[in-house]
């Protein structure tokens, strides 16, 4: 059996074997996830090292074949470029940050909201964006005073920030 760096064999309660990948960068121990096979976990470890060491990777170069989730991809690129680790898929810019819901949907926020979204993961279900706050699902629009019965385009609007992304700004 091969031993790969950054990969640890683990056993579930039901006896199934799986593999956990992780690595340390700038004194931060970062979990990359759980994998069914040892080579997949090793691929995730190698990809993570390549991301933080090599500037050739960006948000658009993500592929599932790298065996790393898109959330982790964003987290590692932000860590490499800005030197700050967030547990959520946030990429810092000069006076704002981008929160990646997925590869095609990203939200632009003012830095005033950074602390909140660094600690609250935005989730999407049925077209609604929400965070879990003390066990409750809180619509992110309510954070900005937008009522749940408000109509997009009339009461508030999404401001386009690139071909594939939108951010929320109140009118």
- With tokens 């059996």, the residue in question is 1
Out of 56, 85, 114, pick the residue that ends a domain.
85
Q: Which of 40-44, 97-101, 119-123, 165-169 has the lowest mean pLDDT?
A: 165-169
Note the pTM of the prediction, 2 decimals.
0.82
Considering the domain architecture, whether residues 43 and 103 belong to the same structural domain is answered as no
Q: Are residues 81 and 109 in the same domain?
A: no
Give residue 51's domain range.
Answer: 1-85
Q: Nearest-CA neighbor of 120 among 110, 111, 130, 128?
A: 130
The mean pLDDT value of the chain amounts to 85
pLDDT given for residue 167 in this prediction:
46
**Number of domains observed in the structure of the chain:** 2
Same domain, yes or no: 72 and 125:
no
Predicted confidence (pLDDT) at residue 169 exceeds the cutoff of 50: no
Angle between helices 38-53 and 70-82 (to 10 degrees): 30
Q: Report helix, strand or coil for 72.
A: helix
Q: How far apart are CA 17 and CA 9, in angstroms?
A: 7
Residue 92 has pLDDT above 90, yes or no: yes
pLDDT-derived band at 70, boundaries 50, 70, 90: very high
Specify whether 12 is located in the same domain as 35: yes
Q: What would the two tokens of residue 38 be?
A: 């040892």
Q: Are 133 and 146 found together in one domain? A: yes
Q: Please tell me the predicted confidence (pLDDT) of residue 162.
A: 43
The reply to whether 67 and 98 lie within a common domain is no
């Amino acid at each position: 059996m091969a031993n790969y760096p950054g990969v640890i064999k683990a056993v579930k309660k039901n006896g199934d074997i799986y593999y956990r990948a992780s690595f340390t960068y700038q004194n931060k121990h970062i979990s990359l996830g759980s994998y069914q096979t040892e080579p997949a976990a090793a691929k995730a470890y190698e990809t993570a090292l390549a991301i933080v060491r090599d500037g050739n990777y960006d948000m658009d170069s993500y592929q599932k074949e790298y065996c790393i989730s898109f959330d982790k991809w964003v987290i590692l690129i932000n860590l490499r470029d800005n030197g700050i680790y967030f547990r959520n898929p946030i990429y810092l810019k000069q006076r704002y940050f981008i929160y990646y819901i997925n590869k095609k949907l990203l939200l632009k926020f003012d830095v005033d909201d950074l602390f909140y979204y660094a600690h609250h993961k935005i989730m999407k279900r049925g077209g609604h964006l929400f965070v879990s706050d003390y066990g409750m699902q809180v619509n992110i629009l309510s954070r900005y005073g937008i009522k749940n019965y408000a109509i997009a385009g009339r009461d508030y609007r999404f401001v386009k920030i690139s071909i594939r992304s939108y951010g929320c700004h109140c009118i």
